[in-house]
Amino acid sequence: MLAAAAAHIVYLRFLCDDAFITFRYAQNLAGGHGFVFNLGERVEGYTNFSWLLLCAAMIRLGVTPELGTQWLGGACAILTLACGLYYLREHGTSPWWFALLLAANGGFAAWATGGLETALFTLSVLLAFLGAASALERRDRERPEPARFDHRLALGAAGVLLAALTRPEGLLVAGLLSVALATLAVARRLTFRALAAWAALWALPYACYFAWRVAYFGHLLPNTFAVKSGGTYLLPIGLAYLGTVAQRLHLVGFVIPLLALAIVRRPLGFRSGLGGLAALLVIPYLAFVALVGGDFMDLGRFVVPLLPIVAIPAALGWGALERFLAERMSRPVAIGVVALLLATYAVLNLATSRDSTRAWHRGVDSIGLLRDYRADWTRVARVLTKASTPSDTLAITAAGIIPYYTGLYTIDQLGLVADDLGGYRARRTTNLPGHGKIASGELIMRLRPQFLIGHPVVVDSISEVRPSLMTEPGWADSLNQIYRVIGAEASIDPPRYFALAVRIDRLGAFMANAQLLNPARRQPSP
């Protein structure tokens, strides 16, 4: 099952543009410039501190984050699966159902890579969950004395700390588990000393990190909160996102055993408290995901960290359902029924994975489209690198791949890494989470970047080239006075083209330098 999960991960491996924002921060950190996107500007435009540190360490060791994050994320996913298998084996339960639920899941496989921190966060959340679950088992094993602090609670506290340092949602996980363990302490199922030791183990280091953050950046919250928080109007979009994820990942495979057991009133035995603990984490977490509007990328990145937590009671449910059926029919037939249902789940998920490797946009971007973005925008970065000078600046909405490879000072038109959000306007016409602000025309006119790209649209024919500059309405005439929109050749073989606006005083130099891309052509593409 571990090998099957690894094969699924390799099949769906990719890198998304957002990961390159972290890579640029890591590049500057490794180079001794600090936690900055643009040199000299302390803006917390990332929300994955521990992952950023790991990326910086890779760079210092001579490993590119484009490669290193693929291996590290995949290893975290496999380790997550192995931890769940070990836990179930240690508790006398067959781990097959758990393994199949995760190994076949397209979301779990896809977001083991992507270049982002999802797999590390998923692993840390599972460790935090299993640490808290260890306190539940004391009473279930008929031990009258309250649970004391031990290595399992310590490991859980380490998981909480890692989760909080990896994603802001880690604090939500920490708060919910604190409520759960405090309830156990009040009920005398856990000593207050054990509760205090668990809390101190993660809260004190995190408090030191938080104090450093505020001192370094000067803000209580990351810049991303100001940019991505859009209010309750995103709630319907977020609920639709959760519905799409449930359908795309066929999460009915997690729900069937729990519903079946509820109908036949079949308890999960001494592990029945796991279901309540999982619900305590999952329900508020999903509410948070809905409130922020979900995500714009396929296969449920924001839901994946919950999958191992739900998979454990679901696997116990599949096992209990198998025993329930075995009492009414032969055991081989009971196993066959459950295996057939889970095989159907696996086949449907693999079909989803295959579908997502194609390039499309259906409210979310498929894995195939994200792969195409990386290839195309890397080509655009090569053009800009050869046709620009180090002092040039660019304005763009895709603030990852192109700024990372060009190294140019970048104006993020969505404001994620903006030093000052005063020049940004609310953009309520979009349903893409994280795209709720746009740089105003006044800001663009004041900063006057040499290159204005907006959303880089790369096409196969020069006749199909169209600009997508993402500028505020009403500023076209003013911008036309200082910019010219041109079609540029992103690559020769295969031929690919894109549009950008070049400041008029830099147009001649850009056109001259662009010829370096293809000396065989006398003139650059119009």
Query: Which pLDDT tens digit goes with each residue over 425-449?
Result: 887 566 677 777 899 999 999 999 9
Closest CA to 2 of 83, 68, 72, 106: 83
Q: Taking all residues of the chain, what is their mean pLDDT, rounded to a whole number? A: 90
Nearest-angstrom CA–CA distance, 59 and 66:
10
Query: Which pLDDT tens digit goes with each residue over 123-156?
Result: 999 999 999 998 887 654 455 677 788 899 999 9
Q: Report, in this order, helix, strand and coil percent for the chain, each rounded to 5.
A: 60, 10, 30
Specify the 3-state DSSP secondary structure of 456: coil
Of the pLDDT bands very low, low, confident and very high (cuts 50, 70, 90), residue 525 is: very low
Tell me the residue type at 477.
D
Query: Which pLDDT tens digit goes with each residue over 273-318?
Result: 788 899 999 999 999 999 988 999 999 999 999 999 999 989 988 8
Q: Is the bond preceding residue 494 a cis peptide, omega within 30 degrees?
A: yes
Who wins on pLDDT, 394 or 328? 394
Task: Give the pLDDT mean for 63-82.
Answer: 98
Task: Give the pLDDT mean for 206-232.
Answer: 87
Specify the 3-state DSSP secondary structure of 525: coil
Structure-token match 């609310």, residue found: 426
* 317: its two tokens: 């449910």
Lowest-pLDDT choice from 107-121, 152-166, 403-417, 473-487 = 473-487
At residue 69, the pLDDT reads 98
Tell me which DSSP letter residue 150 carries: -
At residue 263, the pLDDT reads 72
Query: Which pLDDT tens digit goes with each residue over 473-496?
Result: 889 889 999 999 999 989 888 889
Contact (CB, 8 A) for 55 and 65: yes
At residue 270, the pLDDT reads 40
Lowest-pLDDT choice from 76-90, 195-209, 212-226 = 212-226
* 265: its two tokens: 């009133």
Query: Which pLDDT tens digit goes with each residue over 368-401?
Result: 999 999 999 999 999 999 999 999 999 999 999 9
Tell me which DSSP letter residue 471 carries: P
Beta bridge partners, 488, equal: 498
At residue 200, the pLDDT reads 97
Nearest-angstrom CA–CA distance, 82 and 222:
33
Count of positions (residues) in the chain: 526
Strands (DSSP E) found in 220-285: none
Q: Residue 499 pLDDT > 60, yes or no?
A: yes
Nearest-angstrom CA–CA distance, 159 and 129:
8
Q: Please report, rounded to a whole number, the percentage of residues in the chain having pLDDT higher than 70.
A: 93
Cα four-point dihedral sign 300, 301, 303, 304? positive
Task: Give the pLDDT mean for 214-223.
Answer: 92
